[in-house]
């Protein structure tokens, strides 16, 4: 509550507003957790470091945490009836309890201790002992988590060596990929295969996948809510493979894994860290088909990957 203003109580504007894009991502992520059976969770945060005896007790009490019911409500799920929670904690020699975090009954002028727990995205994106087979089984044969399921023919999971040191990540399946159920098999895929072979490798030596597993209509760019829903499967794929090098093909893959809005021109020709892997961004093969001179730029990027992987640089023909 704000201090009195001319004998009246002044209302304060909320400070915890969330922009629509972030809210959409969070709602899609929470719905995904519920659909795959991951229970809702949150991190408790202290309202303040300690109670100040010189201050009035008003406004220093317990701060309600967002529970599973409120999380489900925000994504349109009907919550099951729950009993009013009892929150207990201990600060110094003073025990505190709140029988109802929302009604304020039993509030005490103290702060809850900070609970050290993994963040929302850190905890959810890691599955102990995860495998590609388990991830594919979690997606299932007829995934309905986002609107891309309405017109797709196939779920294009990924292909290649499950222990590959090099992983290529694209944007999403096209018409050929949707028909065959395998990533990068159309014209852009043939160009990618040529690039892989120019590196002295075979398609079976690397792993190839996309940010979204279903084809966007008319090959449009995946929308933010579609990326937010499907990208956790990509994160799990990369965690399971643990490649030495990740090559992002196009801006959608790069922006998703780096969580940035920077242009491809600013991302190319430099290394980024992605967990235990090194990440490199380059143009998508489809872009190279539309702009043939960009093939030389992609080859420069791939040579950086070759050097990092210890692959022999091809000798120029005399």
Q: Given phi > 0 = left and psi -120 to 50 = alpha, else beta, which region is 70?
A: alpha
The answer to whether the beta carbons of residues 48 and 60 sit under 8 Å apart is: yes
pLDDT value of residue 253: 98
Predicted confidence band of residue 111 (pLDDT cuts 50, 70, 90) = very low
Q: By CB neighbour count within 10 A (0-12 exposed, 13-18 middle, 19+ buried), where does 65 fall?
A: middle
pLDDT digits (tens, 9 = 90+) for 205-228: 999 999 999 999 999 999 999 999
For residues 249 and 268, the answer to whether their CB atoms sit within 8 Å is no
Q: Which residue has the higher pLDDT, 127 or 121?
A: 127
Length of the chain equals 318
The predicted pLDDT at position 203 comes to 97
Q: Is the pLDDT of residue 180 over 80?
A: yes
Give the model confidence (pLDDT) of 233-256 as tens digits. Answer: 999 999 999 999 999 999 999 999
Contact call for residues 269 and 304 (beta carbons, < 8 A):
yes
d(CA 66, CA 70): 6
In sign, the C-alpha dihedral spanning 145, 147, 148, 153 is positive
Q: Domain 129-309, what fold?
A: Uracil-DNA Glycosylase, subunit E (3.40.470)
* Residue 85: pLDDT over 50: no
Domain boundaries, the chain: 31-124, 129-309
How is residue 133 annotated by DSSP?
H
Across residues 76-96, what is the average pLDDT? 37
């Amino acid at each position: 509550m704000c201090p009195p203003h001319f004998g009246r109580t002044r209302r304060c504007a909320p400070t915890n507003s969330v922009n629509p894009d972030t809210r959409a991502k969070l709602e899609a992520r929470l719905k995904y957790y519920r659909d795959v059976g991951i229970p809702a969770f949150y991190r408790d945060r202290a309202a303040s470091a300690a109670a100040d005896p010189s201050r009035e007790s008003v406004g220093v009490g317990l701060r309600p945490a967002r529970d599973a019911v409120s999380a489900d409500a925000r994504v349109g799920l009907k919550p099951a009836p729950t009993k009013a929670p009892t929150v207990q904690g201990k600060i110094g020699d003073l025990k505190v309890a709140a029988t109802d975090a929302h009604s304020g009954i039993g509030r005490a002028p103290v702060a809850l201790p900070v609970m050290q727990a993994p963040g929302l995205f850190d905890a959810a994106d890691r599955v102990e002992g995860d495998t590609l087979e388990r991830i594919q089984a979690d997606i299932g044969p007829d995934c309905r988590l986002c609107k891309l399921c309405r017109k797709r023919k196939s779920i294009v999971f990924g292909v290649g060596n499950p222990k590959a040191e090099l992983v290529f990540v694209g944007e999403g399946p096209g018409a050929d990929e949707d028909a065959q159920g395998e990533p990068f098999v159309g014209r852009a895929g043939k160009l990618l295969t040529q690039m892989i072979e120019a590196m002295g490798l075979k398609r079976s030596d690397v792993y190839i996948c996309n940010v979204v597993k279903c084809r966007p209509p008319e090959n449009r760019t995946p929308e933010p809510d579609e990326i937010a829903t499907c990208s956790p499967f990509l994160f799990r794929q990369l965690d399971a493979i643990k490649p030495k090098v990740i090559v992002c093909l196009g801006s959608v893959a790069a922006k998703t894994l780096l969580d940035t809005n920077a242009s491809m021109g600013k991302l190319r020709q430099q290394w980024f860290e992605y967990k235990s892997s090194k990440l490199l961004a380059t143009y998508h093969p489809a872009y190279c088909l539309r702009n043939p001179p960009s093939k030389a730029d992609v080859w420069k990027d791939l040579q950086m990957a070759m050097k990092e992987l210890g692959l022999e640089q091809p000798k120029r023909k005399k």
